[in-house]
Amino acid sequence: MNVAVQVVLLVVGILVVLGLIAGVIVLIYRGKYRAAAGQLDSELAAETVIRPWEKGNYRGATAPAYPAVKNNGRIALTRRRLVFLTLTGTTISIPLASITGLRLAKVFKGSVAGGWTHLVVRTAGGEIGFYVSDTQAWLAAIGEATGRTPDPVA
């Protein structure tokens, strides 16, 4: 067997092993996500939903009680809280009573993405950022639910 064939077989073997590892990780996180989604769906059934689940992106937080790691997932707003479920199964829940302000920002935590505007929720401990498809509608809905007037756009 020549060297070129050996290299190809080695590369294929490595790719197969990496694929298996990635598959196991995906299955673990998919299970965590489904379990968390099921629990949240049953919790939200008992709450008044203002904005139902939709795709979103968690952009991190400066508040110490919230994860710093960005993640994709789903976001919803109820009369009681703003809730985000990451694709890795982490639930981020912000009680509406703890929201002290709202704003839109092109830059949040030094991060900028072309064409996207951050929806930023302020609490006493810091800020939490999200990307949503309709930032104006989310800003209005959270403002109405909390009684807070969003900060003027800078």
**Residue 153 domain flag:** no
Cα–Cα distance list, 60 to 65, 126, 133, 147 (Å) = 11, 11, 17, 24
pLDDT at 43 over 90: no
If one counts the domains in the chain, the total is: 1
**Residue 154 domain flag:** no
**Residue 151 domain flag:** no
Q: What is the pLDDT of residue 121?
A: 96
**Residue 123 domain flag:** yes
List the alpha helices (DSSP H) in the chain: 3-45, 135-146
Is the entire prediction scored with pTM above 0.75? yes
Strands, DSSP E only, in 28-147? 49-61, 71-78, 81-86, 91-95, 99-105, 118-123, 126-132
Q: How far apart are CA 91 and CA 85, in angstroms?
A: 5
**Residue 32 domain flag:** yes
CATH, residue 104: 2.30.29.30
**Residue 108 domain flag:** yes
Q: What is the pLDDT of residue 35?
A: 79
pLDDT at 98 over 90: yes
pLDDT at 154 over 70: no
Boundaries of domain holding 130: 3-146
**Residue 35 domain flag:** yes
Mean pLDDT in residue range 134-143? 94
**Other C-beta atoms within 10 Å of 44: how many?**
17
**Residue 83 domain flag:** yes
